[in-house]
Amino acid sequence: MKALFLEHVPFEKPGAILTWMKKRGFDFEEWKIFERNALPPDSKDFDLLVVMGGPMNIYEYEKYPWLKEEKKFIEKSIKKEKKVLGICLGAQLIADVFGSKIYRNRYREIGWFDVTLTPEGRHSPLLKGFPQRFTAFHWHGDTFELPHGSIHLAKSEACYNQAFTCRNQVVALQFHLETTPELMENLIKYSSEDLDPPDLYVQTPEEMRKSAKFEELNKLLDLFLTNFLFPEGGEGR
């Protein structure tokens, strides 16, 4: 299996996803849009598309002209029946491709906060083995409406729409399971303006470091990726 990562900024990397893939002998390619200012060619061969996060808004076309092409690339990948995973900005891009509204959430949600599975999420094979409530890492101010026909998987106190899936082929996660200590420190360093002014669901860097649960978080990532990519069991289990 080959994975293709779309990366928007140098400080939001695949993190623990790559660790998981390397252990299982995956082929993967990190396509750095911020360096190329272009999307991969349509002929690019891959089985899984992972759309990473980033500080930009999905409609900042003048500043990031490649956003329109990225949405087309995501849409084509879905139509080709590739597995598609979107994280944070990636989740919002997927929702937009499906025609859903992306808008400013009531709260910024930055730091370590609990996520609760919906009734549909508790019965989803994608989240088999997950606790009903778990702590995840967050860094976002926008949110999305659920696409028509999608399944709502998870919510939090600050943000009701935390995750959805379409036909178990496409998954959008507003929260981060891939975060490592390095990735968290990168966000604190390069996105510090998001932390001001303080808010109800915005932790300080010190609070983030104190609340961090990387080991538990990455175990959930391992479980999710196995459920998502090997639904029938076998390899990866």
- All structural domains of the chain: 2-229 (3.40.50.880)
pTM for this predicted structure: 0.96
Nearest residue to 72 via CA among 44, 28, 42, 92? 42
pLDDT at 237: 41
pLDDT at 61: 95
Residue 113: CA atoms inside 13 Å, Cβ hemisphere, count? 23
Question: In the chain, which stretches have pLDDT less than 70?
Answer: 234-237
What's CA 181's distance to the chain center, in Å?
A: 17
Strand order in the sheet with 83-87: 27-32, 2-7, 48-51, 83-87, 170-173, 163-166, 151-155, 102-117, 133-144
Nearest residue to 56 via CA among 13, 18, 93, 24? 93
